[in-house]
Amino acid sequence: MTLSNPDPVGAGDGGEVDLAAESAAVAATARAPWYLRLPVISHLRRSVGLQRGMLVAGVVLTAILLLCALFAPLLAPYGFADTGADGEAFGTHRPPAAAHLLGTTVTGFDVLSRVIWGTRTAVAVMACAVAASLFLGVALGLVSGYVGGWLDRVLVMLADAIYAFPSLLLAIVMSIVISGGQSHAWGGILAAAISITVVSVPQYFRVIRAEVVRLKAEPFVEAAKVVGTGHRRIMVTHLLRNATRTLPLIFTLNASESILTLAALGFLGFGIEPTSASEWGYDLNRAMSDATSGIWWTGLFPGLAIALAVLGVTLVGESINDLDDPRLRTRKRRRRQKEAKA
């Protein structure tokens, strides 16, 4: 009687297929032109089904936000503070019509122009807050995780303490300190950006520190130390490049949070003056009394702009995080294999 050799442990469970598919995907990505390896484009090429639909929807909404901010003077029919044109006043509470596609507000502003110009304010706050948070959080997390000791304990304690401050309360305090509560354009932008930066830095700090603590015990880091590689080169070349995988999700969440914080400041009356810049939260505040009178257009479109801007940025971040997480890809691939066998 001939006995067949037993299958090795792990054979037949899809592990070898997963590894081969992953290796083929990596090789195909390495051979692709440089423009196809850009972050969003490469994720679009790898996405399928519902995940691709979510990513495409997020990219479209985010692109519309950025294009409106960039070409606001060309897209907006009037200025953000204009209440008349050609010597004639717009009128107040005019419903949507050919002259004003989204109607006018109680102060005579054109709603469409205010919504389009508001994208500039939102993008400015988002860019300032996220850039500052990313730089400070990554730098502090990298140093804390690599150096360790008392410095690491102090920074971790400070990060935990900052979590006790509500972001909106901090934004209100910063707005009052910077500009007395009634802000010009850059005063309101800086108030929102600084408050979001202070609150968001611990998020980047914790993620980068945890990854650096894990990576500095890896053999390739120990080998770099043995051959005499300097600490700065180890931190930048070996640790930083491998510790930033989860940053896109935090990046997009902070971007959407910055838009919401700026809108909350304007809604509560601590935002930007309407003659200095257009801001969606201020327009919502002025539209509260209109809603009870059946005047729906003054509050609907600014609120819809906030919701779509936040949704677009969030969808991009969630989709990129799913595509970059190898555990999620493995689970989805194995589920498809089981469905095919069934």
Which pLDDT tens digit goes with each residue over 164-185?
Answer: 778 788 778 877 877 765 567 7
- In terms of pLDDT, which residue wins out, 91 or 327? 91
**Number of structural domains in the chain:** 1
Q: Which two tokens stand for residue 259?
A: 């838009």
Taking 50 as the threshold, does the pLDDT of residue 9 lie above it?
no
Residues 136 and 229: beta-carbon distance below 8 Å: no
Across-strand partners of 272?
183
pLDDT at 306: 94
Q: Is residue 193 part of a domain?
A: yes
3-state helix vs strand vs coil in the chain, percent to 5: 70, 0, 25
335, with CB counted inside 10 A (0-12, 13-18, 19+), is: exposed
Q: Is residue 18 part of a domain?
A: no
Lowest mean pLDDT among 16-30, 147-161, 190-204, 212-226: 16-30
Non-local CB neighbours of 150 within 8 Å, separated by 6+ positions? none
Q: Is residue 249 part of a domain?
A: yes
* Average pLDDT score, the chain: 79
pLDDT band at 64 (very low <50, low <70, confident <90, very high): very high
Mean pLDDT, rounded, for 117-130: 91
Q: What's the CATH number where 132 sits?
A: 1.10.3720.10
pLDDT at 87: 75
Measured CA to CA, the distance from residue 44 to residue 53 in angstroms comes to 10
Taking 70 as the threshold, does the pLDDT of residue 334 lie above it?
no
pLDDT at 21: 54
Residue % of the chain over a pLDDT of 90? 13
Q: Is residue 33 part of a domain?
A: no
pLDDT at 11: 47
Taking 90 as the threshold, does the pLDDT of residue 62 lie above it?
yes
pLDDT at 29: 55
pLDDT band at 27 (very low <50, low <70, confident <90, very high): low
Lowest mean pLDDT among 16-25, 31-40, 79-88, 108-117: 16-25
Give the residue carrying structure tokens 């202070």: 198
- In terms of pLDDT, which residue wins out, 119 or 234? 119
pLDDT at 335: 55
pLDDT at 99: 84
Measured at the CA of 71, the angle between CA 70 and CA 75, to 5 degrees, comes to 145
Q: Which residue, among 199, 192, 205, has the nearest Cα to 164 in the 3D structure?
A: 199
pLDDT at 223: 83
Q: Is residue 75 part of a domain?
A: yes
Taking 50 as the threshold, does the pLDDT of residue 330 lie above it?
no
pLDDT at 213: 86
Q: Is residue 258 part of a domain?
A: yes
Mean pLDDT, rounded, for 219-242: 79
Q: Is residue 20 part of a domain?
A: no
Across 188-218, b (16+ Cβ under 10 Å) vs e yields: bbbbbbbbbbbbbbbbbbbbbbebbbebbee
Measured CA to CA, the distance from residue 26 to residue 13 in angstroms comes to 22
Across-strand partners of 104?
110
pLDDT band at 248 (very low <50, low <70, confident <90, very high): confident
Q: Is residue 126 part of a domain?
A: yes
Residue % of the chain over a pLDDT of 70? 80
Taking 90 as the threshold, does the pLDDT of residue 67 lie above it?
yes
Domain with 138 in it: 48-83+98-341
